[in-house]
Amino acid sequence: MALSAPIYVLKQQAKVLSRKEGIPLHQALDRIASQEGFSAWSLLSAKTVTMSRKPLSTLLTQLHPGELALLGSRRGQGKTRLSLELAIQIMRRGGHAAFFTLDFTPTDVADCFKALGENLNEFTDRFLLDDSDQICADYILSRLASVPANTLVVIDYLQLLDQKRENPELTHQVQQLRSFARERQLIVLCLSQVSRSYDPGSKPCPEVNDIRLPNPLDLSLFDKLCLLNQDTMQIA
């Protein structure tokens, strides 16, 4: 059952409803769930939030053509490696992948493939690697003009898209990527940093509020938020 908005947006709506009508939060959550076709919030939550200790297999089953998703973690937790593992799996199944990076060099990417037991050269007909310093939404869309449907597009990483003053604001770029994913039936996965204030000792995975956003961005533009800490992932 498709929701009218991501679950974290529905939670925000419930909090507003709770304050506005002076009712307990759990009642507000249940009312929001009822509007979405569930008899209780617990049932909605169980069906729409996935906690997994197998991030790769989870992404393979949870990401679908036409979606814009975010994969976030603190630096060093393996989000780039995981995105390349996902690309390899999709290409091994006959699909295509594109990797746009403002953070890695082609040598870095080749080393990641090697560490995963793969040779980057074996995928030259299925894998687009671009590390141009011109990367932004307009540039990405131009480079993907001829890719087939179902292609996985990885953008490494979200916070660098508007680092140049001449680039459009981040919200506009994300809206472009979202529309393009839907029109062309691509899977667009933006890698994202998580704030250093996130404490793994207090919760197993980062949450929406832990995503580091130096510039304003409406996170409800993403169809899914995939938040990673070591081998544990939560998808909302």
As a whole number of angstroms, the distance between CA 110 and CA 198 comes to: 30
Residues 15 and 62 grouped into a single domain: no
Residues 57 and 41 grouped into a single domain: no
Q: Is residue 2 part of a domain?
A: no
Residues 218 and 155 grouped into a single domain: yes
Residues 92 and 31 grouped into a single domain: no
Domain carrying residue 183: 50-235
pLDDT for 82 equals 96
Q: How many CA atoms lie within 13 A of 134 on its CB side?
A: 7
Residues 42 and 57 grouped into a single domain: no
Residues 33 and 119 grouped into a single domain: no
Q: Residue 199 belongs to a domain with what CATH number?
A: 3.40.50.300
Query: Who contacts 131 (Cβ-Cβ below 8 Å, separation ≥6)?
Result: 100, 101, 102, 104, 105, 106
Residues 176 and 97 grouped into a single domain: yes
**49-80 as b/e, with b when 16 or more CB fall inside 10 Å?**
eeebeebbebbeeebebbbbbbbbbbeebebb
Residues 82 and 27 grouped into a single domain: no
Residues 82 and 20 grouped into a single domain: no
Q: What is the chain's Cα-based Rg? A: 18
Residues 23 and 133 grouped into a single domain: no
pLDDT for 68 equals 96
Residues 33 and 125 grouped into a single domain: no
Q: Is residue 71 part of a domain?
A: yes
pLDDT for 20 equals 92
pLDDT for 57 equals 92
Q: How many structural domains compose the chain? A: 2
pLDDT for 117 equals 95
Q: Is residue 1 part of a domain?
A: no
State pTM to two decimals.
Answer: 0.82
Using 50 as the pLDDT threshold, list the residues of the chain that sit under it: none
pLDDT for 175 equals 96
Q: Is residue 178 part of a domain?
A: yes
pLDDT for 92 equals 95
Which pLDDT tens digit goes with each residue over 101-131?
A: 988 999 999 999 999 999 999 999 999 999 9
DSSP state of 61: H
Residues 11 and 59 grouped into a single domain: no
What tokens were used for 234? 């939560």
Query: Of 17, 33, 48, which closes a domain?
Result: 48
